[in-house]
Structure 1
Amino acid sequence: MTSKAPDPWVRLSPFYPHGGLPVPYFDGVTSQSVEGVWQTLKVFEHADIDLGKLEVTTMKGLKRTVRRYGPVQGHRAGPQSEQLLPYETARRRIYLPTYRWMLEHRASDLVERLRGIPDVVLLDYTTNGDVTDPRSPLSHAALIQLYLEGRWPEEN
């Protein structure tokens, strides 16, 4: 479920450049990837949003780090908004809807293939499937499992 996965499974990675993914809070704006949305809307102590991350198609150069920009202040809730969403709220209102949209509109064929496999093991770099646990990034394998089981986390 990572950017290092073989074809076709790499398409389930949030870094994969599907194109045309709607950006929450930005009417009519789209991103190449889920990760592009997440990184674009992140606001740091020394850097605001970066719309350039929406256009990245290489699965590289997407990350924006605290080492370079200072502590994360939140995720911006719109291009003109002063509101910064705290981490869990941003996960629920930005990340989850964007990843779910990608599963439903850009990788639905793979989701259906997974539904047809009786026993499947999904591998990821992390195992955190708890949206409320900020100690580690969300596991996409865990999110896919929740989606397949009809237990997708609450988005609002």
Structure 2
Amino acid sequence: MAVHVASRRRGAAWLAKAHPGAAVVDVTSKGPQPWVRLSPFYPHGGIPVPFTPDVTAQSVEGVWQALKVFDGEDVDPGKLDVTRMAGLKRTVRKSGAVRGHREGLTGTRLLGYEEARRAIYLPTYRWVLEHRAAPQVAALKELGGTRDVVLLDYTTNGDVADLATPLSHAALIAAHLEDRWP
């Protein structure tokens, strides 16, 4: 199975030319069912919050945003309970520069961006792939058994250490499908 990641902003003609015969699957928050369930914004519920025993979140993005710490604002536990796929982002415009991600809701340690990706985002998203979106992962494996698969995302960066661009969850899905999790 060959799994590719492409920008959702690419047109159908470009995708067809670049990946002839491939199944194109939009895994963003704007994607159709059942694939939207692979979006980090999707409110699965019951997602364990790293370093915070007995606390769960609705979405992966909710965990990521809740633990983010700014110059003018600490963690925001309210983001853990957001069940819409909107209203999750916390921005520097409103809260000042990002200082890091707190190691748990009440932790004293702030993690840098790459360390937070590895200690918070990756394990949380993998947990969702294995426990909440397993049927969609199995369907992608089945689909990939017959042809190439192209996963659409807004970003295509699959390198956890590349901090210049946001990490692509589609790239993480591809890594998961190909048994090369970062």
TM-score range, shorter chain: over 0.9
Moved more, 16-25 or 77-86: 77-86
Q: Does 1:130 align with 2:141?
A: no
Larger RCO: 1 or 2 (CA < 8 Å, sep 6+): 2
Q: Does 1:26 align with 2:52?
A: yes
The residue that corresponds to 1:144 in the other structure is 173
Letter of the aligned partner of 2:174 in structure 1? Q
Q: Which runs of 5+ in 2 are unaligned?
A: 1-26
SS at match of 2:101: strand
Moved more, 133-142 or 78-87: 78-87
User: Aligned to 1:102, which of 128, 146, 150?
Assistant: 128
SS at match of 1:121: strand
Show the 5 A alignment for 1:83-122: 83-117=109-143, 118-122=147-151
Show the 5 A alignment for 1:46-65: 46-65=72-91
1:64-123 CA-partner distances (Å, limit 9, x unpaired): 001110110000012332210000000000000000000000000010111111311100
Q: Which runs of 5+ in 1 are unaligned?
A: none
The higher radius of gyration belongs to 2
CA RMSD of aligned residues (A): 0.7
User: Aligned to 2:103, which of 77, 82, 92?
Assistant: 77
Q: Distance in 2 between matches of 1:129 and 1:2?
A: 15
- Name the TM-score, length of structure 2 as normaliser: 0.83
User: Aligned to 1:37, which of 58, 63, 70?
Assistant: 63
Determine which structure has the larger strand proportion and give its number: 2
Q: Distance in 1 between matches of 2:81 and 2:46?
A: 10
% of aligned pairs identical?
A: 68
- How far apart are residue 140 of structure 1 and its match? 1.1
- Name the TM-score, length of structure 1 as normaliser: 0.96
- How far apart are residue 62 of structure 1 and its match? 0.2
